[in-house]
Amino acid sequence: MQDAFSLAGKVALVTGAGRGIGRAISLKLAGAGADIAACDLKEEWLEETAAAVRGLGRRAECMAMNVSQSESVAAAVEKAAGLFGKIDILVNNAGITKDGLLLRMTDEAWNDVISVNLTGTFMVSRAVSKLMIKQRSGSIVNIASIVGLIGNAGQCNYAASKGGVIALTKSIARELSSRNVRANAVAPGFIQTKMTEELSDEVREKVLETIPMKRFGQPDDVANAVLFLAGDASSYMTGQVLTIGGGMVM
């Protein structure tokens, strides 16, 4: 019987693959048999990810991509398609935060976060979906956030961008389902990364009070959800949002 979680013979393009959740996703997909087109703002950020993927016996190619610039996106996707011959899975993980209260948030902080998190997801999805439509197959997995569902004080820009990613995902799913291209989203809560490690003890305690499971998640928790949505195990799912937040959203 074929393993529904196997990605043998598949090619996955992962943005923001240089560290944290993006690296965990790349390794999880490679562990299931996928070759990885690893993308980030600078190629040198991807060296450790690529080495780890190759250590799993899978092919890894690195390419610089600024997701907020259409020319950079087009060049990287073209390079990936040329090297691998196809792209079966797209994981839009690249994202930034520039937090601040609404009344103090600058135009720059708003525009930068929207440009990377939302416009970037749109641009990469647009470029890769052209290939997937020709292949008549593909799975797009967008990394959203729980704050895109419930909001968060001090993160108007980030919440708006991730809420937009959720709506974008559902729209892509409606447009591409007839071409056998699926689009789903994962909405992580508070995941143990460098960003959460920088929180003060007081802030960490306040955050933990909002999580029924009383702990932060791990990058692998998100990667496991991406693996499920990327392959045949979720073949009858599209336009859905999986929340990985320890019960913050029920």
DSSP per-residue codes, the chain = ---TT--TT-EEEEETTTSHHHHHHHHHHHHTT-EEEEEESSGGGGHHHHHHHHHTT--EEEEE--TT-HHHHHHHHHHHHHHHS---EEEE-------B-GGG--HHHHHHHIIIIIIHHHHHHHHHHHHHHHHT-EEEEEE--THHHH--TTBHHHHHHHHHHHHHHHHHHHHHGGGTEEEEEEEE-SB-SHHHHTS-HHHHHHHHHT-TT-S-B-HHHHHHHHHHHHSGGGTT--S-EEEESTTS--
Overall size of the chain counted in residues: 250
Is there a catalytic annotation at residue 158? Answer: yes
CA distance 24 to 22: 5
Among candidate residues 187, 181, 162, the one with its CA nearest the CA of residue 240: 187
CA distance 91 to 140: 6
Q: Which of 158, 166, 181, 221 is catalytic?
A: 158
Among candidate residues 222, 155, 161, 221, the one with its CA nearest the CA of residue 186: 222
- Catalytic residue ranges: 158
